[in-house]
Amino acid sequence: MKRILTVDIGGTNVKVLVTGANERRKFHSGPELTPEAMVEGVKKLTADWKYDVVSIGYPGLVRHDRVVAEPNNLGPGWVDFDFEKAFGRPVKMLNDAAMQALGSYRGGTMLFLGLGTGLGSALVVEGTVVPMELGKLSVRNTTFDDVLGRRGKKRVGNKLWTKRVAAVTRRFVSALELDDVVLGGGNAKKLKKVPEGCRLGANTNAFIGGFRLWETAH
């Protein structure tokens, strides 16, 4: 059986889990983290783990397993970095929200919304992941990133922010003809009430998505 190392890169921590392990491991990331430092940190943290391939969830735009835009909350140098050469293993990459979406998927057409610094988003249709950037859509004089992200929550308070999440979710359900909506990200657990027709995801689903990357098309 192929042993998969899944790496979930976040703005606060880099989290890792390998096939068969019971507990994830992590180390601090932050705005100075470069891809070289990330790989070095992962190798150091997983020195006693054996793995054949690597899945990486990256907080930014990914196309065809390659980073195509620098992250907003990490150091520089991610675009065109050769992760396969650095790890010495085959590598598959996906946007971090898309990887968590894949791990949360139960069937049909599912939308994943990541409530964090901004608004992460991905659609899964009959098992195929469609990365999206719904947070970049404009609303009034700003964007959904601002309205539903950390800044918007802090600006209007938790009660009104919860109502806005519910209202926006209803619009997406109608527009995209969804069967399922999963709310994840660091702020999902701070919702005063989970919107009707939605369910909460779990950060550990990112690892399930990383393992599934080697089982399904994406």
Report residue 143: phi and psi, to 5°: -130, 165
* pTM of structure: 0.90
In the chain, % of residues over pLDDT 90: 88
Q: Regarding the domain delimited by 4-98+206-212, which CATH topology (the fold level of the hierarchy) does it fall under?
A: Nucleotidyltransferase; domain 5 (3.30.420)
pLDDT tens per residue across span 56-76: 999 999 999 999 999 988 999
pLDDT tens per residue across span 91-143: 999 999 999 999 999 999 999 999 988 899 999 999 999 999 899 999 889 99
Architecture of domain 106-201: 2-Layer Sandwich (3.30)
Q: Where in the chain is the domain with CATH 3.30.420.40?
A: 4-98+206-212, 106-201
